Structure 1
Amino acid sequence: MTVTSTSSQTRWIRPEDARLPDLLEVLAEQTDLAEYPHATRVEQQVLFYDWATVRHTAADDAARRDLQAELARALADGPGIVVLAGAFEAEPLARATAAFERMIVEQRASGATAGDHFAKPGANDRIWNALEKLAVTDPGAFVDYYANDAVALAAQAWLGPGYQVTSQLNVVNPGGAGQTVHRDYHLGFQSAETCAAYPAHVHALSQALTLQGAVAHVDMPVESGPTLYLPHSQKYSHGYVAYQQPEFQEYFVAHHVQLPLSAGDAVFFNPALLHAAGTNRTSDVRRMANLLQVSSAFGRAMETVDRARVVEAVYPALLSARADGLPGRQVANVVAASAEGYAFPTNLDRDQPVDGMSPRTQAELVTDALATDLAADALVGRLREQLVARESH
């Protein structure tokens, strides 16, 4: 996975070191179809693979590994994005679409408003945890949909075995506004200041922990606002701290590419690729995509720890130690060792982001409690409320 030379000279990536000319140097590389023998064509620097052709290649174990190596190279060192054209056949796609539409109707009828990372709540239709909800709503549709080998081929190519699939259905209605440019989960969901607290090698590692995908459930002409991309931008080392800056956002608006998609097409891209959902400028197209986020098996701890139990046990002792003069840094060290310091995974129907892209963490609840000398029983109540909110159903 290539990065600009700056990251090899320092262990830290700072927002003030992000320079647009460095990004332009990365973007100067062009996608050469000759380097990707299984691809059908290159369109606006993006590689297209005809699924009707490559599915037969993927059926042979030896040929499958060669194909996956090519896909991984495209995602890491090439344009950072591939399209598997015609990946999903009409019948399983339609059955899943019907199930998703029923979920949307039920969600609207319940009065619930699904928040979004970028769009105004209620402007579009989003089904969080669509994977689990599809399985419960229509198990047969789930089997037909996820039996498709395109998802497994791409996920194994990027992450290897043991991966976990999650999905969020996103419907951008006519007139729905687009997003600002960003990178994706994990570091892409953090502020520039938070990203800068992670050493440079974590910036390179983050993009290897997830694979982003999207399955088009309807035809998506450009006017309907399919996702905007900046091919090759995943190779820019400072991207996680740069995309919030005005000059980078302005460049993206002026130079992105946008690809029309057909129902059944599947797009997979490196989460570090600079991208943004487009504005739906049509009057009649409800742009529906099943957004896939596939996670590496390796992003987990070795042991199962009930961290709420740990916090409940140590909080009174920590309050006492703080009162006796334990320095703030050491208090924070205890919180880091005991409380869950990351917002995910969670139930985004109930535990929604308020001031940013991530809900509050257990560690933040504990830190706030310490700052106000909150009684232990009151903190226990807050922790248990949060645990309930994070359950999947």
Structure 2
Amino acid sequence: MCQKGTLCLAAGGLVAGPLFQQETPPSSLDSRVAVVRRILSDVPLIDGHNDLPWNVRKFARGQLVGFNLTADLRHVEPWSRSAWSHTDLPRMRAGMLGAQFWSAYVPCGAQYLDAVQLTLEQIDLVKRIISLHPQHLVLATSTKGVLEAHRAGQIASLVGVEGGHSLGSSLAVLRTFYSLGARYLTLTHTCHTAWADCSVADAAGPDPPATAAAPAPTPTAGRRRRPGLTEFGRAVVREMNRLGMMVDLSHASVKTMKDALETSKAPVIFSHSSAYSICNSSRNVPDDVLRLLADNGGIVMVNFYTYFITCNSTANISDVIAHINHVREVAGIDHVGIGAGYDGINHTPTGLEDVSRYPYLLAELLSDPLWTEQDVKKLAGLNLLRVFREVEEVRDKWQLAAVTPAEDLIPAADLEGHTTCMYLAS
């Protein structure tokens, strides 16, 4: 093996050892962006969360007639007038996006009503958007699918269900979402469910302004006496492990985070969160959880919403990098990624205004000698791919062990006061 600080013989002659793998960072921004473009041709840039599907529902009632994702939507009504719009194919290509998790989100107000139906409609919408643009987008449901899409020059499109209220407290619905292609579930949104507490439980002061995907928190919905996950909530996590579905802890309370980390046999993710030590929003991840996450093998995909970055309406690339570096310092380089949250936020950092700007973030990192090209590759996509692969490995092991689908039912007492729109006779 080639040792640090040595030159080694190989079949083709001399090769450099690890001491020579890190080059002096390119001095100019343009040269660093060129390096980033080379990196992203090798490794897919993976973003953990984008709310475009909800904007399509909001602006176009979920109808794709007349919606042209290949256009620059900065010049198309009503998108051009919206502070919540950051995504279209020209800008995705400019940003060298390799894979995107599209959020199948429905508001907390639908909990105990039609949340399951609306989520199915949002998954259908994601698939219809993908099918309309086969030259650019392809549905991916595995690490293999992400890599194959990247090699083919397509943007791998994955589905994440945002909010446990979308399950209707049913493991059968969870399995159905998985069969339709969903590869992560965010355990909570801005409301407690009957089996998990959301981050509102930890809010010490007023919440930040509502986002497009979170119009207003509803903290009392499904509120239980005991914080964190109930036994049914732990059953949800275990069934996700069995399926090969990533457990997403963005929006969860700290107790829910810790309960899920204790329960899960696979790495977990935070699809769009940042560091609590820098901005003390309850939506961010505290250091003690970051250390637990490192032990779990999971990843925090840093969000770009200014109120999660600086706790106010303005931020810049350096502020985002501070969060990335903090997660790296506490949890390690293997546990950080990108989950911008575009189309679900209305305040973006200067320099990171839309999906075209990812290369400039990575180029700024390369100006710091701390960041090697390999480190940038991990942040861009390799870390998420590792987590996804390990989740699949747990699934495969459980299949070999003949672990059967869970049949847990949520106790009726946990649904008390929320059953008027449910058929419970069965």
Q: TM-score, normalised by structure 2?
A: 0.24
